[in-house]
Amino acid sequence: MGERESETRREELVGWLEELARQLESGTLMIGGENVGVPEKVQSRAKTKNKKGRRSLKLQIEWETKPPKGAYKKGKKAAEAVPDELRKAGQELREEEAGAKNGPTAKVRDCDSHVLVCTGGDCKKRGSRGVRKVLREELRASGTLGDVRIDTVDCLGLCEHGPNVVVYDGAEPKGTWYLGLKESEIPEIVDQHLEGGAPVERLAADRRPRKAKKIRKS
């Protein structure tokens, strides 16, 4: 199979998965040419990315499950109503929690990008809270809020230029600094940088080269 044919097959697969996600979101799924109703609790999203010549797709499907009927009854009848598999899983979870008391109990959530928003005095006066709010709204609307971690900091040291935001990701491990960021500029950063993997150069701050260290003569 040639490279062009392989690329075509991949594009077909990506298109099929994205269409599947759209059908799940609409509440109707086509199987064998027939419409199949999808429960309201089923949620899905598909996201594709192009980063440094590599394309990736994430398809996430979520749904809620109800406990077996009678699981919340009191007494002996409640225990009998819970399936053995569920009872066993609960026991294993309790044992795992008990064993974790001697070590770390939390895990760090993996993410594609880490965004620091300054909410110190000067940045706050210039609208950093609004910038953070719009940032979350844009990420939520694009379905990528779960892939980006947003934290606030008290100061980034460039107070007179605020609101200031720093993005850490694979595109620029040292961080991309956006100074004096406006709410109207957030959609471009979300689309081009946080989703596309390419910093918005016209908004990014220039870097000063580090001074060379002086070598002491012995």
Task: Confirm whether 124 is domain-assigned.
Answer: yes
> Could you tell me the CATH number of the domain that includes residue 167?
3.40.30.10
Report d(CA 134, CA 128) in Å as an integer. 10
pLDDT in tens, 9-35: 777 777 777 777 777 767 677 666 667
Structural domain including 18 reads: 3-62
Task: Confirm whether 100 is domain-assigned.
Answer: no
| Claim to verify: residue 54 and residue 118 sit in the same structural domain | no
Task: Confirm whether 82 is domain-assigned.
Answer: no
Residue 42 near residue 24, CB atoms below 8 Å: yes
pLDDT in tens, 135-192: 999 999 988 888 899 999 999 988 889 899 999 988 777 899 999 999 999 999 999 9
Confidence of residue 102 (pLDDT cuts 50, 70, 90): low
Q: How much is the average pLDDT of 93-116?
A: 73
Task: Confirm whether 214 is domain-assigned.
Answer: no
pLDDT in tens, 53-89: 666 667 677 666 665 555 545 555 555 555 566 566 6
Task: Confirm whether 159 is domain-assigned.
Answer: yes
Portion of the chain with pLDDT greater than 70, in percent? 60
User: Between residues 85 and 214, which one has the greater pLDDT?
Assistant: 214
Place of tokens 């694979």: 170
pTM: 0.51
| Claim to verify: residue 58 and residue 117 sit in the same structural domain | no
Task: Confirm whether 132 is domain-assigned.
Answer: yes
Say how many domains are in the chain. Answer: 2
| Ramachandran bin of 45, using left for φ above 0, alpha for ψ from -120 to 50, beta for the remaining angles | beta
Task: Confirm whether 18 is domain-assigned.
Answer: yes
